[in-house]
Amino acid sequence: MKSGKYCLIILLLALWACSETKVPTMELHGELKNAEDGTIVLSKSVSRMNFEKIDSLPIAKGKFSFKRQLQDTTFYMFTLKPSGLNFVAILENGVIKITGDASKSERGYFKVDVEGSYNDSLSQVASGLTQTVLEQEKYAVFRILSEQYGQEKDIDKKSEIKDKMAPYQEELSKEVTALQLEFIKKHINTFAAASVMPWMHDAVSLDELKALYNLFSDRWKKSEVLAETKTDIENKERTLPGKPAPDFTLKDPQGNDISLSSYKGKVVLVDFWASWCRPCRASFPHLMSLYKKYKPMGFEIIGVSNDSNRDKWRKAIKDDGITWVQTVDEFPEKYRPARVATLYAIPYLPTTFLIDRDGVIIGKVHGEDLDKKLEELFK
């Protein structure tokens, strides 16, 4: 009897404990100055620059509120209707207060103050780090040179201005990267730190990126916010010298399917470019001379354009007299990188991959290095 009595007591205590356990919930209260009465559309970040609508709520006299159980901490976009103005905040479970002024918008967005979101506060700190660099005198010089570059029509003078810009750009980028690295390491295993990781993809070496990624716990490595970094690392490792070149199939200007694998037996240069990329198109005369010289020996170039506007892509091919194989990349998601460019972890344009007759990556080569490598391959 006693054992039965104790079992009953334990069961009742367990049930009581369960009933007392509170499910983490976000309770949000907002107050915006100069905001029209209407509706706020709430959208959740599903990938960088992509938001998906999840709810809508009324706003009256600038005030709005709602409760919701959040499964994860991430960016949320608030779109005010009918004005169409937006603001973005990092939301997490807990009591959160948002305040702001809708009249102080720029390009459709305005800033808000967020109380109660630890990660939003950290994110503001991260943004502030970049601002300290932008406030330096050298950034002011860089900005002036950048404006001059944009206004200059003469190609030779543009080149001179670009050369002047280069050291400023490199130094400023290094400073921003150093501050961001310090921030990530200091606040590891937070959403704010993880959300800065995409900026590291092309700012540090592959080994440095992997080491930084491995500082995060397994829980964070499996999170949506670090999925892009995981993919970037995998793609970079997949396209190292000595690895089989990832196959792809894209459309040529006539709508025919072009597959990289169909060119096995040839030495292939995959050229990632775009009609709007001046350095890309400036490289074409050099590529043309190499193509004429080595094509009879088994050399082929496959252009992969990053153009979303196919008419501009076709016009550039015609205007520049390109005679080698041309394809155009695909954009599965709006505002996201192109499919094959992502597969090859392309950091900038132009980028060229040289692939041997067996379909194995020789490396990223261009300019004089490309000349030497082709001469070596076609001896």
For the chain, the domains span 26-115, 128-238, 249-377
pLDDT greater than 80 at residue 124 = yes
Average pLDDT over residues 300-315: 96
pTM for this model (two decimals)? 0.77
End-to-end CA distance of the chain: 95
Q: Residue 73: what are its φ and ψ, rounded to 5°? A: -85, 130
Residue written as tokens 């950034």?
A: 139
Cβ–Cβ < 8 Å for 360, 239 = no
In 3-state terms, what secondary structure has residue 337? coil
- What's the token pair of residue 68? 């919701």
CATH, domain 249-377, list 3.10.20.30, 3.40.50.620, 3.40.30.10, 3.10.180.10: 3.40.30.10
Residues 6+ apart with CB under 8 A from 267: 294, 298, 299, 300, 354, 355, 356, 357, 374, 377, 378
Going by DSSP bridges, is the β-strand pair 86-91/50-59 parallel, antiparallel, or unpaired? Answer: unpaired
Show the tokens assigned to 180. 């961001």
Query: DSSP secondary structure string, 27-83?
Result: EEEEEEETPPSEEEEEEEEEETTEEEEEEEEEEBTTEEEEEE--SS-EEEEEEEETT
Q: What is the pLDDT of residue 291?
A: 98
Residue 51 — pLDDT band, cuts 50, 70, 90? confident
Distance CA 328, CA 311 (A): 11
Contact call for residues 112 and 124 (beta carbons, < 8 A)? no
The SS3 assignment for 371 reads helix
Query: How high is the mean pLDDT of the chain?
Result: 90
Separation between Cα atoms, residue 99 and residue 34, nearest integer Å: 11
C-beta atoms surrounding 354 within 10 Å: 22
CATH for the 26-115 domain, from 3.30.420, 1.10.357, 2.60.90, 2.60.40: 2.60.40
Whether the Cβ atoms of residue 323 and residue 291 lie closer than 8 Å to each other: yes
Nearest one of 53, 73, 43 to 224, comparing CA atoms: 73
Judge contact between 277 and 350, C-beta under 8 A: yes
Average pLDDT over residues 86-106: 94
**36 DSSP assignment:** P
CB 363 within 8 A of CB 353: yes
Calculate mean pLDDT across residues 17-39: 81
218 closest CA partner among 201, 206, 230, 208: 230
Mean pLDDT of 231-249: 96
**Contact (Cβ atoms closer than 8 angstroms) between residue 238 and residue 250:** no
Mean pLDDT of 3-14: 53
Q: Work out the angle at residue 55's Cα, subtended by the Cα atoms of residues 51 and 59, and round it to the nearest 5 degrees.
A: 110
Residue 244 has pLDDT above 60, yes or no: yes
In sequence order, what are the beta bridge partners of 249? 259
Contacts of 94 (CB under 8 A, 6+ apart): 24, 26, 27, 116, 117
3-20 mean pLDDT: 52
Q: Which residue has the tokens 């499910």?
A: 23
> Is the distance from CB of 66 to CB of 93 less than 8 angstroms?
no
